[in-house]
Homo-oligomer: A and B are copies of this chain.
Amino acid sequence: MSSSLPSTLEPIVRDVIAPAAEATDREGRFPRAALGALGAAGLLGLLSAKAVGGLGLGLAEAAQGVQRIAQDCPSTAMVLTMHYAGTALIEKYGATELRQAIAAGRHVTTLAWSEMGSRSHFWAPVGTARRDGDTVVLDGFKSMVTSAVEADSYVWSSRPTQGDGASSIWVVDSKAAGLTRPTPFDGMGLRGNASAPIKAEGVRIPFANLLGEDGNGGELMNNDELPVFTALIASSSIGMMDGTLARATAHITKNRFAESGSSICDLPTVRAYLARAQIRADQARVLRDDALAAMAAGRADTMLRVLEVKASAAEAALEVTDTAMRICGGAAFRKDVGIERLFRDARAASIMAPTSDVLYDFIGNALCDAAAKKD
């Protein structure tokens, strides 16, 4: 972990992100000021190489940042996650100028992968790309794009222009002609994300905007993106658990029964709920840390950890926020203690592609394949 990251980030959370969090949720307002502050502090370029003006930090620091922000505003954390997710591919395969813009904090990007037709199976896009000389014409319908209304570019998946590869990945300027964005979703949680479906009809972009090889999108998705995306989404879930547990513990410690003068936390059943939740949160945290360590070291079990880390944290966050709602009772239900929003926001990670259930299937397959090979 970077020791300087907290000193840079903490004032931004305290002065910009946390004060706006309630309105971000209530009004579904995109956290533009937060992105401005993060950009100004260099944090939008956290993953960008120093050569292009970035901080040159790694996934562990990105995870640390996302986790901290998610404690106070999960919408901002998700927007940043998707920006880092796009940046990871652009840094490796993209144009220098674009990389410089990101590093400088002038450009926000995001992933545009999920489709109505393929549902959570984002690895098999049905949208098309047709080559026309130096350009490519994209058609397709993305069902749910974080920051859709506000990002400067989309890292976009389509079928390849030729061959039988699973997909190709492109950078698409969000102002390109032919893109339409219906009204942002009115969702149960993560309401400040400006998430929306995006329709592409005859969108013409330079062929040079291709990331990696035409038809090699699957490799980029699995090898380059999946580790980044799953670690960051998991970190967002962990941050929400931290924020929830801190608020819940404070609530049950400070509020008393008039009848007896005792605190809510004097109830053994409440302490037991809290303890179970803390263990769940800590299990998810250390598994995430271990996943990051596995990736950094190229350990043999890296892919298992990549598949595990998001489901591990997302499912734990369902339980932890549910427990917090229970032990804080009516106060939490009435939005008094700030837990209710984290409860709603935490529901997203489990059903965001690859969903927990899809990941379970991948993990089960991987374990059985390994066992079958043993004989």
Interface residues of A in 104-123 (CB under 8 A from B): 114-121
Q: If A121-B257, A124-B259, A253-B372 touch, does A333 touch B347 (CB 8 Å cutoff)?
A: yes
B residues near A368, Cβ cutoff 8 Å: 249, 252-253, 263, 265, 271, 274
Q: If A275-B361, A351-B326 touch, does A282 touch B268 (CB 8 Å cutoff)?
A: no
B367 touches A274 (CB 8 A): yes
Give the CA-CA distance A362 to B72 in the complex, in Å. Answer: 28
A189 touches B333 (CB 8 A): yes
| 0/1 string, A280-303, CB within 8 A of B gives 1 | 001110110110000000000000
Question: Which one of B126, B185, B283 lies within 8 Å of A283 (CB-CB)?
Answer: B283
Interface residues of A in 152-199 (CB under 8 A from B): 185-189
B275 touches A367 (CB 8 A): yes
Is A95 part of the binding interface, using a Cβ–Cβ cutoff of 8 Å? no
A364 touches B270 (CB 8 A): yes
B residues near A201, Cβ cutoff 8 Å: none
Which of A78-86, A224-232, A352-360 lies on the face that meets chain B? A352-360
Give the CA-CA distance A104 to B274 in the complex, in Å. Answer: 45
Is A308 part of the binding interface, using a Cβ–Cβ cutoff of 8 Å? yes
Give the CA-CA distance A36 to B250 in the complex, in Å. Answer: 44
Q: If A278-B367, A334-B186 touch, does A318 touch B322 (CB 8 Å cutoff)?
A: yes
A191 to B: closest C-beta gap in Å? 11
Give the CA-CA distance A186 to B26 in the complex, in Å. Answer: 10
For A126, A246, A278, which residue has the most chain B Cβ atoms within 10 angstroms? A278
Interface residues of A in 320-373 (CB under 8 A from B): 322, 325-326, 329-330, 332-335, 340, 343-344, 347-348, 350-352, 355-357, 359-365, 367-368, 370-372
Interface residues of A in 223-248 (CB under 8 A from B): 245-246
| 0/1 string, A299-321, CB within 8 A of B gives 1 | 00000110010011000001000
Give the CA-CA distance A264 to B359 in the complex, in Å. Answer: 16
Q: If A118-B259, A330-B352 touch, does A272 touch B344 (CB 8 Å cutoff)?
A: no
B279 touches A311 (CB 8 A): yes
Is A276 part of the binding interface, using a Cβ–Cβ cutoff of 8 Å? yes
B308 touches A118 (CB 8 A): no
Closest-by-CB residue of B relative to A114 is B330
B residues near A253, Cβ cutoff 8 Å: 368, 371-372
B residues near A350, Cβ cutoff 8 Å: 326
B120 touches A329 (CB 8 A): yes
| 0/1 string, A139-159, CB within 8 A of B gives 1 | 000011000000000000000
A345 to B: closest C-beta gap in Å? 10
Q: If A259-B117, A351-B333 touch, does A360 touch B290 (CB 8 Å cutoff)?
A: no
Q: If A269-B269, A334-B187, A355-B329 touch, does A282 touch B274 (CB 8 Å cutoff)?
A: no
Residues of A within 8 A of B (CB): 114-121, 124, 126, 143-144, 185-189, 245-246, 249-250, 252-255, 257-259, 263-265, 267-276, 278-279, 282-284, 286-287, 289-290, 304-305, 308, 311-312, 318, 322, 325-326, 329-330, 332-335, 340, 343-344, 347-348, 350-352, 355-357, 359-365, 367-368, 370-372, 374-375
Q: List 11 A-B contacts (CB under 8 A).
A: A116-B258, A118-B258, A119-B329, A121-B257, A272-B364, A276-B360, A279-B308, A279-B363, A283-B312, A326-B357, A330-B352
Besides A188-B334, A283-B284, 4 new A-B residue pairs in contact (Cβ under 8 A), listed by A number: A119-B255, A271-B360, A279-B308, A282-B308
